[in-house]
Chain A
């Protein structure tokens, strides 16, 4: 069964460093998302991406964040200069174009730890 994959499963970085989180969405999906969950808090929306551009972003998704679909399969989230408060589990999700219910399929997450 097709699934969303994410790498790495755990990333440890120093404050101020750049990180890139990688996702491979399900192959025939056209809508892509990033969410995150800070420990003990709700899963929260960061950004949605369609047709090679951001379609919606939250107030969390500031200039330090960017997303890219560099080829036909990968979808990446870059954090330019990480802060302690960026430590969280980051989930990628994807959706088929004609999903009338907005059903999103999630990857297993990347746990980002900023020291």
Chain B
């Protein structure tokens, strides 16, 4: 059974704080690791797709790293803003299938 875990489950931070979440996934049969940002009543929005060990990607104040050998990825948000409040989902794409396997998500709330 392929298991993807995320921590923490929820996080409350003050505006301006930096924060990070973890996604752990199987280290075998790796194809890609996806991060999505999901606001209630909206479509999950793709943030990053990461494929190579050691990958580091950045989009504005949000960045992500990837370690495929040990099976983890970190998502960082620098200087959190209230509009960053959302659930952040990671999804593991195994090499032998077309499906995505999701973690439980980290629900972030940023207070002004």
B98 x A102 contact (CB < 8 A):
yes
Indicate whether A96 reaches chain B with its CB closer than 8 angstroms: no
A106 x B98 contact (CB < 8 A):
no
Given contacts A43-B89, A102-B31, A102-B32, contact A3 B43 (CB under 8 A): yes
Q: How large is the interface on A (under 10, 10 to 19, 20 to 34, 35 or more residues)?
A: 20 to 34
**A109–B39 Cα gap in the complex (Å)?**
12
B100 x A107 contact (CB < 8 A):
no
Q: Which of B43, B93, B103, B104 contacts A102 (CB 8 A)?
A: B93
Q: How many A-B residue pairs have C-beta atoms within 8 angstroms? Tell me.
A: 57
Indicate whether A105 reaches chain B with its CB closer than 8 angstroms: yes
B98 x A56 contact (CB < 8 A):
yes
Report the interface size for chain B: residues with CB under 8 A from the other chain. 24
Q: Produce 1/0 per residue, B1-23, CB < 8 A to A.
A: 00010000000000000000000
A106 x B99 contact (CB < 8 A):
no
A42 x B102 contact (CB < 8 A):
yes
A107 x B51 contact (CB < 8 A):
no
Residues of A within 8 A of B99 (CB): 33, 45, 48, 56, 58
Interface positions, chain A 78-102, Cβ under 8 Å from B, are 91, 101-102
**A105–B47 Cα gap in the complex (Å)?**
11
Tell me the minimal C-beta distance from B53 to chain A in angstroms: 15
B98 x A55 contact (CB < 8 A):
yes
B43 x A107 contact (CB < 8 A):
yes
Which of A9, A56, A91, A108 has the most chain B CB atoms closer than 10 A to its own CB? Answer: A108
**A104–B45 Cα gap in the complex (Å)?**
10
The 8 closest A-B pairs by CB, nearest first: A45-B99, A43-B102, A101-B49, A106-B44, A102-B93, A108-B43, A48-B98, A101-B32
